[in-house]
Structure 1
Amino acid sequence: MRSPRLRLAALAAAPLLLLSACSTEGSDGDTADQTATTDDAAATSMAPTGDISELSVDTSGDEPQIQRDGEAFADSELPFVVGSTEVETVEEGDGDEVEADHEVQVRYVALNGADGEPFASTFETDETVTIDLNNELLFPAFLEQLPGRSVGETLLMTIPAEAGFGSNGNPQLEVGPQDTLVFYMEIVDSSAPLTEATGEAVEPEEGLPEVEADGENAATITIPEDAEEPSELVTQLLIEGEGAEVQAGQTIKVHYTGVKFSDGEVFDESYQRGEPTQFPIGVGNVIQGWDEGLVGQKVGSRVLLVIPAEQAYGEAPEDTEGATAPPAHELAGETLVFVVDILGAY
C-alpha cells in the first residue's frame, strides 16, 4: 500500500516451496525465456537412478518418514533421480473430490533426492498449507495431479528437476538445479475459493462509518456528519468468518474498498479489476493499519478499518518556507476507511 492503488498486485505471492521454476523467470508473456530455461534444465538433468516404486512411507511416528527400499531415504544409494513426474496413492480418500479450481488444504513433507534429507515439512507445526489451484505458477505436478483426487487421500509424488525449480534450483531451500523433489502429501480438505465474506453478521458500534456491501461490488461507505476522526486504529468486524485466523507472514487474498474519512471519496477498490488482490500481511509490505487490523482475523470475515494518518501514509508535512522536503504521499494526512473481505490466507 505505497501508492493510491496500493501496489497490492505487485506483492502477489504463493508459498515459496510450491512455485514452479518459470515463476521466477522474466515477466508475463516472456515465453521464449521460460522455454529456454526449461530447455537448459533438461539439457543438464541427470539420468534417472530410480523410480517411485522404490518408495514407501512410515506413518507410525509423529512425522511421516519417506523410505527407499525399506530403509531411511538418506541411507540409500544417492542421488535419487527420476525422469518424469510420478504419483502413487498411499491411502485412498473418501471425502469430497478435488476440483480444478479448488483451494486444497494439505500437509506434506518434502525431500531433496540429492541427499535424501527433508527440506520442508508442515508436520513440525501440525499446520496445513493451502494450495490454490487457480494459481498457474504452482508446480505443474500439483495443477495436473491433484484435481480428481479425494479429501483424505495420501500420496507420494516425485518431481524431476526440470519440472520443479529448474536450472536455477532454489538456493534458499538448498535445492540444486539437478535435484529431484520427493513429496509425501495428505489432502486434508478441498473447497471452492471464497468470492465474498461469509459467516455471522456482527452489529457494529455506533458512530462508525456506515457500510453497505453485497460482496460483488465495491462497498458503499458513508461517513456520518457528526463522526469524529479516531486517534487510534479502529477495527470493527462486520461479518465474522469461519476460517483459520490470519497469521503474520502469510499471503492473504482480499477484496476491498477504500475511502477518505474527510470527504468519503473512494480512492481505491479491487472490484473494478475483476479479481481479488493478494499480498503478504504482517511483515511491513502494506500500511501499518492493515498489518495490525487484519492479522488475527478469520478467513471469511468482512472487516471495517478506520486508520489514522500516522498508521496509513503519515501526517501531512508542515509548510516550512524555504525548506526542501521529499514529496509527501498524496494521501498523507488523511484518515482512511477500508472495508475488507478476507477470502484466503496462505
Structure 2
Amino acid sequence: MRSSRLRYLAAAAAPLIFLAACSPDSSGEGDDASATSSPGDDAAATSAAPNGDLADVEVDTEGEAPALTWDGEPFADGDLPFVAGGTETRTLAEGDGEEVAEGHEVQVQYLAVNGASGEELVSTFPNDESVTLDLGDEALFPAFREQLPGMAVGDEILMAIPASEAFGEAGNAQLGVGPTDTMLFYLTVQDTGEPLTEAQGEEVEPEEGLPTVTMGDTGPEIDVEGVEAPDQLVAQQLIRGESPEVVAGQTIRVQYTGVKLSDGEVFDSSWERGEPTEFPIGVGQVIAGWDEGLVGQPVGSRVLLVVPAAEAYGEVPEETEGETAAPAHELAGEDLVFVVDILSAS
C-alpha cells in the first residue's frame, strides 16, 4: 500500500534538475553549455581525473538554510573544480522511517551545487518546499534510481554525480551546468510510498443532475443519459484525495476517460491505452476546462468534469460570405465529460 503520508509540495521548476531528458541543450545547443561549464579553461582536462573527496564535504546547518562546506570552508572557496570519478553516496544521518523501494515515489528536500563553480543551483530549504522523485521514471538521473532504494525516511544524504551520469555532454545551460561538471546534492528523505495507480481518498456524494460514474475493468464508465448541457464548467469531486492541491505550473500524472455529452461515446481514454499520461497544468497546454477544473484539486482525487464546448475545443466556426472557415477540431461544438484520477503532481 502507498503511504498515506506521502505529500506533494513541489516547487514547479525544481524537479527539472533531476531529469537528464529535460536538459535544455538536448536540441543541440551544446556550445552554450560549454561556455558556462567552469571557471577555468582546463575544466575539460581535469574532468577526467577525480579531484576532491566526498568525505571532506559537510553540511553547514547554522544559517537560514543548509550550505555545503569543503574542508571546513564555504564550498566555493575550495580547490575547484570538484570532480567525481563516479557516483558517490554518503549517509550523514540515518532515519528510522519507511524504507525506500525500487519504483517508489520519494519526497525529498534538497540542495544542489555545481562542483565546477561551487555555485548553489537550487535549494528547496529556504521555502521549506519538497519535490517528489518518481524512481520508476527512466528520465531521472540513474544515481537516484539506483542509490535511493534501501534508504529510509529521515536519512540525510550527500551525493556526488559526475557529468557522465547527470546531464552528460549536453550539460544544462539554463542551470549553468556544463558538459564536464560534477554535481553535488544534499538530500533529506521526507517520505516514500508506492505510486498511485488510481484515485485514493474519501468518497464524495455528487450533486444531482450530473453524469453517473461506475468503475469497470477498463476504467470509469460514464452515463450521460438525461444530463443537460452545461452553462459553465462543472468540476465535481467523486473522491477527495489526501495530498496537497495541484498548483498551476506543475506537471500532473493522470488516468482519464472522456466522452461526448451528446451521445456518451468514448473519444479518449488513458485507461484503455493501459498507462497514465503527464502534462503541465494551468499553463494553457491542455483545454481550458482541464486547467480550470484540475488546478486546486488535491492529488489523489477523482474529478468529474463537465466541460462546455467553449472551454473544450471551441464552437464550430461559422463561414462568412466570401471566406472559408478554418478547419475545426473534430470535437468542436461538443460538450465533453471527463473522469480524471490525479495520481501525482510535481
The TM-score, its normalising length taken from structure 1, stands at 0.88
Amino acid at match of 1:258: G
Q: How does 1:53-64 map to 2 (within 5 A)?
A: 53-64=55-66
Could you tell me how far apart the structure 2 residues matched to 1:101 and 1:168 are?
A: 27
Could you tell me how far apart the structure 2 residues matched to 1:183 and 1:167 are?
A: 20
Given the alignment of the two structures, is residue 122 of structure 1 paired with residue 124 of structure 2, yes or no?
yes
Shift of 1:58: 1.5
**CA distance 1:21–1:258, change in 2 (3 Å):** closer
Partner of 1:175: 177
Shift of 1:230: 1.1
Partner of 1:217: 218
Q: Specify the SS of the correspondent of 1:53.
A: helix
Shift of 1:20: 2.2
Partner of 1:193: 195
Given the alignment of the two structures, is residue 157 of structure 1 paired with residue 164 of structure 2, yes or no?
no
**CA distance 1:324–1:45, change in 2 (3 Å):** farther
Given the alignment of the two structures, is residue 343 of structure 1 paired with residue 343 of structure 2, yes or no?
yes
Given the alignment of the two structures, is residue 309 of structure 1 paired with residue 309 of structure 2, yes or no?
yes
Partner of 1:269: 269
For residues 215-262 of structure 1, the C-alpha deviation after alignment (integer angstroms, 9 at most, x for no partner) is x5221111132x221121111000000012111111111100100111
Q: Specify the SS of the correspondent of 1:271.
A: helix
Amino acid at match of 2:202: E
Q: Work out the percentage of aligned pairs sharing the same amino acid.
A: 64
Could you tell me how far apart the structure 1 residues matched to 2:14 and 2:69 are?
A: 29
Given the alignment of the two structures, is residue 332 of structure 1 paired with residue 332 of structure 2, yes or no?
yes
Partner of 1:258: 258
Task: Please identify, of 315-324 and 232-241, the stretch whose mean Cα deviation from structure 2 is larger.
Answer: 315-324
**CA distance 1:22–1:201, change in 2 (3 Å):** closer
For residues 36-81 of structure 1, the C-alpha deviation after alignment (integer angstroms, 9 at most, x for no partner) is xxxxx99994422112111011223331111100111011121111
Shift of 1:24: 7.6
Partner of 1:37: none
Task: Please identify, of 297-306 and 118-127, the stretch whose mean Cα deviation from structure 2 is larger.
Answer: 118-127
Could you tell me how far apart the structure 2 residues matched to 1:59 and 1:26 are?
A: 36
**CA distance 1:26–1:116, change in 2 (3 Å):** closer
Could you tell me how far apart the structure 2 residues matched to 1:317 and 1:51 are?
A: 66
Detail structure 1 runs of 4+ shifted over 3 Å in the superposition: 21-27, 41-46, 319-322
Partner of 2:20: 20
Partner of 1:66: 68
**CA distance 1:303–1:163, change in 2 (3 Å):** same
Partner of 2:111: 109
Shift of 1:113: 0.8
8 Å Cα contact 1:14/1:251 also seen in 2: no
Shift of 1:22: 9.1
Shift of 1:180: 0.8
Amino acid at match of 2:300: G
Given the alignment of the two structures, is residue 297 of structure 1 paired with residue 300 of structure 2, yes or no?
no
Amino acid at match of 2:71: D
Given the alignment of the two structures, is residue 283 of structure 1 paired with residue 283 of structure 2, yes or no?
yes
Could you tell me how far apart the structure 2 residues matched to 1:117 and 1:337 are?
A: 49
Could you tell me how far apart the structure 1 residues matched to 2:14 and 2:314 are?
A: 30
Amino acid at match of 1:331: L
- In the alignment, structure 2 segments of 5+ residues that lack a partner are 1-12, 28-42
Q: How many residues align?
A: 319
